[in-house]
């Protein structure tokens, strides 16, 4: 469930200690927000290898836990967006809120067919407490 929104704010400077974002099933995550995270905090993420849709990868760095949600394919686009997003967020452990970028609204998401209304519905349906950036 989305518990708050922070428009125009920098998620990396927001003070939350848990941050979620989208990655692809092919494991090529060197662009977009995933690319920022791979360059600054998680170099292995840039070429993470193939993962199943709905998988959540996790890395702790400098007091922040990053959650890479495998929720789309570079080849096949976005499938069952609401359900996949809900499934990914529901896998995040603990009760502390999770900050999330507006998944699917960047250039890669738009070009590959992301539907933010469906993605947001998945966030709302999740049991995770989400702060949407």
- In order of start, what are the domains of the chain with their CATH numbers? 2-132 (3.40.220.10)
Alpha carbon distance 121, 70 (integer Å): 17
Spatial strand order of the sheet with 56-61 comes to: 2-5, 130-132, 98-100, 18-24, 64-72, 56-61
Q: Is the model's pLDDT at 107 over the cut of 90?
A: no
pLDDT, residue 126, reads 98
Residues 6+ apart with CB under 8 A from 54: 70, 71, 84, 87, 88
pLDDT per residue as tens digits for the range 50-99: 999 999 999 999 999 999 999 999 999 999 999 999 999 999 999 999 99
Burial class of residue 127 (count of CB atoms within 10 Å of its CB; 0-12, 13-18, 19+): exposed
| HSE of 76, CA atoms in CB hemisphere, 13 A | 12
CA 96 to chain CA mean position, Å: 16
**Confidence tier at 108 by pLDDT (50, 70, 90):** confident
Nearest CA to 24 among 36, 12, 34? 34
Q: What percent of the chain stands above pLDDT 70?
A: 100
């Amino acid at each position: 469930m989305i518990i708050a929104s922070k428009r125009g704010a920098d998620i990396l400077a927001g003070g939350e200690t848990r941050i979620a974002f989208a990655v692809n099933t092919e494991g090529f995550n060197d662009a977009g927000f995933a690319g920022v995270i791979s360059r600054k905090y998680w170099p292995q993420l840039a070429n993470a290898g193939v993962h199943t849709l709905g998988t959540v990868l996790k890395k702790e760095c400098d007091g922040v836990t990053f959650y890479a949600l495998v929720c789309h394919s570079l080849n096949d686009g976005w499938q069952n967006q609401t359900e996949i997003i809900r499934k990914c967020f529901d896998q995040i452990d603990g009760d502390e809120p999770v900050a999330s970028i507006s998944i699917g609204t960047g250039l890669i998401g738009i070009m590959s067919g992301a539907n933010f209304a469906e993605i947001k519905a998945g966030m709302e349906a999740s049991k995770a407490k989400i702060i949407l950036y």
